[in-house]
Chain A
Amino acid sequence: MERRQFIKNAAMASATVAATRLALGKDPPKPDSLPPTPGVTWDKAPCRFCGTGCHVQVGVKNGKVVAIAGDRKAEVNKGLLCVKGYHVGLALYGKDRLTRPLLRKGDRFEPIGWDQALEIVARRIFDDPEGFAIYGSGQWTIPEGYAALKLVKAGLGTNNIDPNARLCMASAVTGFLATYGVDEPAGCYDDLDECDVLIMWGNNPAEMHPVLFSRVIDRRSRGEKVTLIDIGTRRTRTSEHCQHHLLFKPHTDIAVANGILHLLLERGTYDRAFVEKHCRFRADSDPATLQGKEIGFDEFKRRLAEYTPERVQQISGVSAQDIRMLADLFGRRDLRITSLWCMGPNQHTRGTAINTLIHAVHLLSGHFGRPGDAPTSLTGQPSACGTVREVGTLAHALPGGLVVSQAEDRKKAEKLWNLPEGRVSGKPGPHTVELWRRFSTPKDEGGTINTVWVQVTNPARSLPNVNELFEPSRRIDGKFLIVSDVYPSATAQAADLILPSAMWVEKNGMVGNSERRTQQWFRMVKPPGEARDDAWQLIAVARKLYELGHPGMKDKDGRFLFAMEQGGVEVPVWDYRHYYDINVDSRLFEEYRTFTRFKHKDLAPYDEYVKARGLRWPVVEQPDGTWRETKFRFAGFDDPYVKKGQEFDFYHSTTKDGRAQIWFRPYQPPPEVPDAEYPFWLCTGRVLEHWHTGTMTMRIPQLRRAMPQAYVELNPADAKKLRVTSGDLVVLESRRGQLELPAWIEGRGAPPPGTVFVPFFDESLPINRVTLDAHDPFSKQPDYKKCAVRVRRSARRIARP
């Protein structure tokens, strides 16, 4: 026994040594009890970039962001990100962060103190409040946008505030308002998990909303059948994943939609029960208004009679067979169909029209309100919905969907803000294009805007036709440009005063994504140098105005507009040393939240968002005290505001009868079409790697190296005619301006003959010198997707390495 035990023990021991050596390839090291990533703490935040609204986990060590991970608890992205999201932490660390306020002295900037900077801003406003405007952003956080709006509308008594989101989703807003009477999509991203057919209208989500796109195509990897249809003007990475790619001539998407409507009526395959119960029909009135005039079903059908598949093919270039294919799909009740769109239909001189038509196709065919059946517009900015559309940082709007033109709405706002009656002006301010036109026009020629404060955006590159809308302002005496930014963007470099800002996880924040999801995060690292929160900048300027004696900075009881107390003691949040004594974000949000009940856009208390990875409004309190989000608006099975027993109820109907409006919109030719002199269509847009004007992503090495410069995409046949090969410099010229840039043939996308494409991310190659500022009559959103240009090979050559 002893011997056997000994042999067994010996065998065990040698096996252990062997195994140890096998496992390690060397002698075992000392025990190591360090956690996997010592010193790294993790916290949640929504990604800084697009409107998808992915959540990331931010890894922080020694006061710096050191790693990013997809948030596995986030419903939007389920742990996955795109290449921008994975590198979002690097956006904070470009070497040229702005760290001190800078005042222009001739051709250079001189560092000044914050107090002097605030004094300058406040003086400009105090001396000419009517001539002052704030130009904001869909990248503002919700509390920032709310503070800016309150400063202008409750404090200065003007409506001189508009955001860059005017350039990106204003037509979606007017589309929703004209159709449902209230803004924002009824569906949500859950539709992407349920749909049998996904139609992308002028949309390239494989590059622009990659996480949403892969959410759909990964279903196919799991063996599900999803039909993807790309209706676009150019072949993209999205097209490559689609079963159908329908190429239409720019601007003719309206004819395509009408072709579908025509066939649904002609064949009787529309959803008669849904339409009779829940819809009415409308068309443009004279003069045209957003509400238009009612037309009956018969009149609607009569007007659509001319849009036969053959006629639509003639207008759009999409084959009659493909139009029939689309109508066949919409005519089927056994399929779930989701439509996605973003800049294609929005940046359109008939943007409101095509937006209402996409809704019309879904409503007429009854593909609405069931999971997977939804017309869903996407946004490009992280808080275009949250800050712009919901807070209402627009020239005509008030928080929560109220509008300044309604006396009743103004009264509601004045009551909540505790203002004297009549403080809120009923006169809408200038919309974005008009605001910048007035800033770029001398005072005595009608240029009534003299001071613009830009926050979180880059109009010197993102406005259309910048040669006319932006550049002149820099040469006119008496015009003063204030820019709050984190990097010396083109706009900051053109400014008279630069204010250095904190960004993303350097401050508390809240944003709202494309599916009505409100998201929250906490400050995790400190901003560099003297960079400070945008909301603080607004409140500090308001305080300066209060000290200067501006009467608007007090409510009717004489209290400061942004007064905040803790335990009955006023906290001087305008002094940055005390800004984080309390959570200013939660104070501003709780105040804003009181506005959200009027239009059933209910938001939950701040603390609910701390716990969640975002909640989709309306978020309604339950009898047990919990808060429930709403995924499918207007649908009885999910939306608590639908009348009991109703399957659908459009409770903000413009006809006050719970019905949605199906619009007739005739095809009309675009304002500028290619001709003998300017024979090409120019389309502008984005690429996967870069976001907006690249001020952040171009400072992230992995993204910049993957796409370091703008280019012009040409069709190979056109390139041959122009004797241009990839890498050659070409000159692109419109009636407004010109730009020289390298050609890329068979590059990222493939434009059809007669069309060129240029991305707008590159600050050094500003394509908006060439684009058109013609805009939609209702939404005032300009059309960046089409104008006429000519193209020639440049005499210059690129110096190649």
Chain B
Amino acid sequence: MSTPAPEPSDVLRHRIWHVVGAVAVGVAAAGFLAGVAGPPERATPPRGEAPATEGPAVRRYSEMGSEPRGPNANLYERGTSVLAVERDPYAVVERTDAERAAALRARDARRAYDGAPPTIPHPIDQRRAPDCLACHGAAVQIDGKIAPTMSHPRYDSCTQCHVVAADPRPGGAAPEGVANTFVGTSSENPGARAWPGAPPTIPHATSMRTDCLSCHGSLGRVGLRTSHPWRQSCTQCHAPSAELDQRGPTP
């Protein structure tokens, strides 16, 4: 018994499945590559000279429903797909020296010195107590943009320490100011190790940086992410500095 020749409609059906399959694989591959590649590298500006605005303007809760805009415009429509991205918390995190250096440069560009409160890279509501915690309460990543979680305990007056990096006034065109020659410390020194392979000590003050995962978690800057995010008790192995934490006999 010979196999009956396929019906033309079946051929068409198979071809459609091939096309659909190819498209699906292609989209997935493109998506994967895009995800792996991340946003294109930009030249990192020098200390304290980061571009004034990098993110969308913060809006009031009341405006969010009525005026969707920015990268989060279709957040709720896309929400399920964003959440569906599976992360393996036990995946090995590879970092390179170049990534670490880039992360530190980017970090420095937002700060006058290591330990200074970073400036805010997007417009905010100047009048009301801003709803910073909507995004910065727990870190969120949407479309490659990360809103990091606060590194410190919750304080209610965010704008006491964090100010916007650009003229907040609409149409503002203020004259240039006098230059400043201050050179702040940068966060370049890696923690000291007692021997190769020993856990490094914490090279910075832990005051206002008590939540290590803000920078070192899986939504921290790429080069600063810990290789072992599943371990929760950081100071079990990484010792803070008594001097930097002002626990020693400082004057």
Residues on A facing B (Cβ under 8 Å): 16, 19-20, 22-26, 28-38, 40, 42-44, 57, 59, 61, 64-73, 79-83, 86-87, 89-90, 92-96, 206, 210-211, 213-214, 217-218, 220-221, 235, 237, 240-241, 487, 688-689, 698-709, 711, 725-728, 742, 744, 746-750, 764, 798-801
Contact = CB atoms under 8 A, between A and B. Distances in A.
A20 B92 CA distance: 12
B178 A96 contact: yes
B169 A86 contact: no
24 contacts: A25-B96, A29-B196, A31-B194, A33-B192, A36-B189, A65-B182, A69-B115, A79-B246, A83-B161, A89-B184, A213-B157, A214-B156, A218-B156, A235-B127, A237-B127, A240-B129, A241-B156, A688-B159, A688-B160, A706-B164, A707-B167, A708-B174, A709-B172, A727-B170
B171 A44 contact: no
Contacts of B166: 705
A726 B162 CA distance: 24
B184 A67 contact: yes
B128 to A, nearest CB: 5
Interface stretch (B9-17, B65-73, B77-85, B202-210): B202-210
Contacts of A16: 197
Contacts of A19: 197
B24 to A, nearest CB: 33
Contact of A31 (B167, B174, B193, B207): B193
B118 to A, nearest CB: 10
Nearest to B207: A79
A725 B181 CA distance: 37
A240 B127 contact: yes
Nearest to A528: B181
B220 to A, nearest CB: 14
Contacts of B243: 35-36, 42
A94 B127 contact: no
A759 B159 CA distance: 18
A93 B180 contact: yes
B211 interface: no
Contact of A218 (B93, B155, B202, B250): B155
Contacts of A218: 155-157
A87 B160 CA distance: 12
A580 B168 CA distance: 45
A70 B207 contact: yes
Contacts of B182: 64-65, 89-90, 92-93
A22 B228 contact: yes
B132 interface: no
B175 A764 contact: yes
B221 to A, nearest CB: 14
Contacts of A213: 157, 160
B163 A37 contact: no
Nearest to A749: B127
Nearest to B167: A708
Q: Which of A83, A210, A748 has most chain B Cβ within 10 Å?
A: A83
Given A35-B243, A36-B241, A726-B169, A95 B160 contact: no
Given A87-B116, A214-B157, A747-B169, 11 more contacts: A25-B94, A26-B96, A36-B201, A67-B116, A86-B116, A95-B180, A705-B119, A707-B167, A708-B174, A747-B168, A748-B127
A217 B48 contact: no
B102 to A, nearest CB: 14
A801 B175 CA distance: 11
Interface in B224-251: 227-228, 241, 243-246, 250-251
Q: Which 9 A-B pairs have CB atoms at the shortest separation, nearest pair first?
A: A727-B171, A708-B174, A706-B163, A28-B196, A709-B174, A93-B182, A726-B170, A210-B160, A25-B95
A241 B130 CA distance: 11
A539 B127 CA distance: 48
B190 A32 contact: yes
A727 B169 contact: yes
Contacts of B180: 90, 93-95, 699-701
B169 A37 contact: no
Contact of A221 (B155, B196, B197): B155
B52 interface: yes
B141 interface: no
Contacts of A42: 243, 246, 250-251
Contacts of B199: 23
Given A31-B194, A221-B154, A87 B246 contact: no
Contacts of A688: 159-160, 163
A674 to B, nearest CB: 24
B108 to A, nearest CB: 12
Nearest to B92: A22
Contact of B116 (A68, A72, A95, A214): A68
Contacts of B168: 706-707, 747-748
A739 B207 CA distance: 45
Contact of A241 (B129, B169, B172, B245): B129
B126 A36 contact: no
Nearest to A85: B161
A279 B199 CA distance: 66
B169 A742 contact: yes
B196 A31 contact: yes
A702 B48 contact: yes
B33 interface: no
Interface string B45-89: 000100010000000000000000000000000000000000000
Contacts of A95: 178-181
A57 B250 contact: yes
Nearest to B195: A31
Interface in B90-104: 92-97
Contacts of A487: 178
Contacts of A80: 155, 161
Nearest to A522: B251
A82 B160 contact: yes
Nearest to A17: B197
Contacts of B169: 709, 711, 726-727, 742, 744, 747
B112 interface: yes
Contacts of B37: none
Nearest to A488: B178
A81 B161 contact: yes
A748 B125 CA distance: 8
